[in-house]
């Protein structure tokens, strides 16, 4: 859930830690990434990764080298991290950039699709300041940007509970 929408209820626990949204999303997204990318990636950015649950799953299950890039700097013990705002210009450093509910990093994660493979699961409209966009309109607006920029993309309904489970798997534009 976005930081903009604070729930009054206590979030459910995953592995003893409290999170908003479906607590299974970290494990399920890690499994999806493993099935989709397998050994073709090694170095992964978990952008806006918060405490680093996804990073931990990706390392544990798939042995990827993963770092969280999130200015909060709240990561769990043993998770590599850089406590800075993420910038798309750093994308080529990674084989895969993942933005799971990336809030204010959404634009930089989408722009990373020009340089490297991405998995993007938006949760709120941190994409356009000039328009109110619900989930589906937000996805359409991002698709428009991919198409303008020749990013190859697939819309995916990720295997965890919605509504914030729609997103994209992308590959950079083909070189001519």
Q: Which residues bind ligand SAM (CB under 6 A)?
A: 2-3, 19, 47-50, 69-72, 85-86, 100-105
> In the bound complex, what is the minimum distance in angstroms from residue 95's beta carbon to ligand SAM?
19
Give me the DSSP letters along 27-65.
HHHHHHHHHHHGGG--EEEEET-TTTHHHHHHHHHH--E
Spatial CA neighbour of 158 closest among 150, 170, 166: 166
Nearest to ligand SAM of 86, 152 (CB atom): 86
What is the distance between the alpha carbons of residues 66 and 75, in angstroms, rounded to a whole number? 12
> In the bound complex, what is the minimum distance in angstroms from residue 45's beta carbon to ligand SAM?
10
Spatial CA neighbour of 26 closest among 127, 98, 112: 98
> In the bound complex, what is the minimum distance in angstroms from residue 144's beta carbon to ligand SAM?
22
Nearest to ligand SAM of 62, 105 (CB atom): 105
Angle CA(109)–CA(55)–CA(127) in degrees, nearest 5? 20
Q: What are 169's two structure tokens?
A: 């798997």
Is the Cα torsion angle 99, 100, 105, 107 positive or negative in sign? Answer: positive
Please, are residues 35 and 27 in contact by the beta-carbon 8 Å criterion? no
Nearest to ligand SAM of 167, 172 (CB atom): 167
Nearest to ligand SAM of 5, 175 (CB atom): 5
> In the bound complex, what is the minimum distance in angstroms from residue 155's beta carbon to ligand SAM?
19
Nearest to ligand SAM of 153, 158 (CB atom): 158
> In the bound complex, what is the minimum distance in angstroms from residue 137's beta carbon to ligand SAM?
20
């Amino acid at each position: 859930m976005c930081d903009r929408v604070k729930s009054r209820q206590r979030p459910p626990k995953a592995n003893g830690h409290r999170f908003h949204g479906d607590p299974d999303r970290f494990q399920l997204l890690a499994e999806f990434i493993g099935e989709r990318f397998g050994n073709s990636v090694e170095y992964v950015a978990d952008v806006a990764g918060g405490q680093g649950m996804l990073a931990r799953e990706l390392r544990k299950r798939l042995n990827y080298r993963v770092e969280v890039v999130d200015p909060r700097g709240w990561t769990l013990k043993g998770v590599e991290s850089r406590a800075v705002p993420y910038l798309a210009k750093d994308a080529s450093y990674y084989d895969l950039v993942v933005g799971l509910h990336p809030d204010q990093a959404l634009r930089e994660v989408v722009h990373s699709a020009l340089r490297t493979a991405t998995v993007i699961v938006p949760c709120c409209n941190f994409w356009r300041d000039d328009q109110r966009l619900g989930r589906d309109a937000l996805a359409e607006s991002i698709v428009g940007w991919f198409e303008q920029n020749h990013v190859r993309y697939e819309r995916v309904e990720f295997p965890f509970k919605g509504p914030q489970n729609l997103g994209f798997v992308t590959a950079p534009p083909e070189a001519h």
